[in-house]
Amino acid sequence: MNKAFPTLLFGVAAGAMMLVSCDNIDKDDRYIELPVAEVQRTVLLEDFTGQNCKNCPNAHEAIHALQEQYGDALIAVSIHPAGNGLVYDEATYGSAGLGTEDGRLIAASAGAGTTLPTGQVDRSTGLIDYPSWANEVRNSVERTSTITCSGAAVADSDSVTVNLSVRSGEEFKGTVNVWVLEDSVVARQLLPNGKRDNNYIHNHLLRQCITPALGRQVTYQRNVTADERYSLPVKSYWNVANIRVIAFFADENGVVEQAYNIPTENK
């Protein structure tokens, strides 16, 4: 991968930046330019969010800015945990609700409660607020990984099928996680101004985990290729044209070692 990205960070605490305008900060103190980030791997950013959370769109904008900067080196996932008071549950609201049981299990494992938005980077940072995501993503892209992965997915009106080939330069024990995401989902969202947008566009939305929500336990032997196949039925209100698949690998401590966008053919 080995791509280089310049990084600019606010020169004052993010919380303070939310309370004052840039006009009140000396021009030379607004930003600190950090050394160029050398991208060694793909980073996973999990955004715990909700449709009835008025500050959550601000986190969505932060993700968009990071995706503009890092491109394919960043995988972001918007996770709506069922049972959270700020989330409309899929089980109750059908296609209008984005909260899933998989999302609830993942959020509970991370310790995400009813305070949204919050998130974690590579499951190594603990839960942090979105102004802190940029710095943690920058740190994470520079970590190296021994895992390589190739594969392909096919999404049609019946199912999503995934074939993976995984290889590690060292023995690896942990979990493999294969998730189905959907982009351009039109559904309600509370906005920062307190108004509700019924046609808000939700991207990188976790639809369902193909593996168990907390991953499938695996052991990869050193320099031995493991071939894996997964399949999941498609729900009627998913837009197959906007489905894509990701995979990531977390070590025994739960830290993400590597993440991948799996090329997905949409039929």
Torsion of CA 67, 249, 207, 60, to 10 degrees: -30
According to the model, what pLDDT value does residue 2 have? 55
The Cα–Cα gap between 168 and 55 comes to: 40
Strand partners, 150: 165
Strand partners, 77: 46
Q: In this structure, are residues 136 and 130 in contact, taking their beta carbons and an 8 Å threshold?
A: no
Confidence of residue 95 (pLDDT cuts 50, 70, 90): confident
Per-domain boundaries in the chain: 3-266
pLDDT tops 60 at residue 35: no
According to the model, what pLDDT value does residue 11 have? 38
Query: Tens digits of per-residue pLDDT, 7-33?
Result: 544 333 344 334 333 334 344 443 444
Q: Which of 146, 189, 194, 138 is nearest to 167 (CA)?
A: 146
CATH architecture of 3-266: Sandwich (2.60)
pLDDT tops 60 at residue 6: no
The Cα–Cα gap between 227 and 21 comes to: 53
Q: Which of 80, 111, 105 is nearest to 181 (CA)?
A: 80
- Average pLDDT for 202-227: 97
Question: Could you count the other beta carbons within 10 Å of the beta carbon of residue 142?
Answer: 13
Specify the pTM.
Answer: 0.86
Query: Tens digits of per-residue pLDDT, 170-208?
Result: 999 999 999 999 999 999 999 999 999 999 999 999 999
Higher pLDDT, 177 or 114: 177
